[in-house]
Structure 1
Amino acid sequence: MLLKLNLENILFLDIETVPEFRDYSELDEVKKSLWDEKSKYQRKDEFTAEEFYSRAGIWSEFGKIICISAGFFSFRDGSRHFRLTSFKGEEKELLRDFTSLLEKYFPQPYNLLCAHNGKEFDFPYIARRMLIHNMRLPAKLDLFGKKPWEVPHLDTLELWKFGDYKHYTSLKLLTHVLGIPSPKEDIDGSMVRDIYYENGELDRIVKYCERDVVAIAQVILKLRQENLLSDSEITSLE
Structure 2
Amino acid sequence: MNLKLDFENILFLDIETVPEEKDFSNLSKEVQDLFALKTHYQRKEDVTAEEFYERAGIWAEFGKIICISVGYFTNFKSENRNFRVTSFFGDEEQLLKDFKSLLENHFNKPQHLLCAHNGKEFDFPFIARRMIIHQIALPEKLNLFGKKPWEIPHIDTMELWKFGDYKHFTSLKLLTSILGIPSPKDDISGSEVATVYYNENNIKRIVTYCEKDTIAIAQLLLRFNNQPLINDLNIIHV
By the TM > 0.5 criterion, same fold? yes
Does 116-125 or 71-80 show the bigger shift?
A: 71-80
2:28 match? 28
For 1:219 and 1:204, the matched residues in 2 are separated by 23
Within-5 A mapping of 1:20-169: 20-75=20-75, 78-169=79-170
**Helix, strand or coil for the counterpart of 2:223?**
helix
Within-5 A mapping of 1:169-180: 169-180=170-181
What does the per-residue CA deviation read over 1:191-212, in whole Å, with 9 as the maximum and x for residues that have no partner?
0000000010000000000000
What does the per-residue CA deviation read over 1:36-90, in whole Å, with 9 as the maximum and x for residues that have no partner?
1011111121311001101100000000000000000000764100000100000
Moved over 4 A (4+): none
For 2:159 and 2:199, the matched residues in 1 are separated by 34
2:222 match? 221
For 2:3 and 2:131, the matched residues in 1 are separated by 33
Q: 2:14 is matched by which residue type in structure 1?
A: D
Where structure 2 has 5 or more consecutive residues not aligned to the other structure, the ranges are none
Per the TM alignment, residue 166 of structure 1 is displaced from its structure 2 partner at its CA by 1.1
Q: 2:160 is matched by which residue type in structure 1?
A: L
Q: 2:207 is matched by which residue type in structure 1?
A: V
Does 76-85 or 216-225 show the bigger shift?
A: 76-85
For 1:78 and 1:99, the matched residues in 2 are separated by 31
**Helix, strand or coil for the counterpart of 1:101?**
helix
Change beyond 3 A, Cα 1:222–1:66: same
Per the TM alignment, residue 2 of structure 1 is displaced from its structure 2 partner at its CA by 4.7
How many residues are treated as equivalent by the alignment? 237
For 1:27 and 1:7, the matched residues in 2 are separated by 43
What does the per-residue CA deviation read over 1:109-133, in whole Å, with 9 as the maximum and x for residues that have no partner?
1100000000000000000000000
For 2:46 and 2:162, the matched residues in 1 are separated by 32
Change beyond 3 A, Cα 1:78–1:181: closer
For 1:2 and 1:225, the matched residues in 2 are separated by 8
**Helix, strand or coil for the counterpart of 1:144?**
coil
For 2:193 and 2:154, the matched residues in 1 are separated by 26
Where structure 1 has 5 or more consecutive residues not aligned to the other structure, the ranges are none
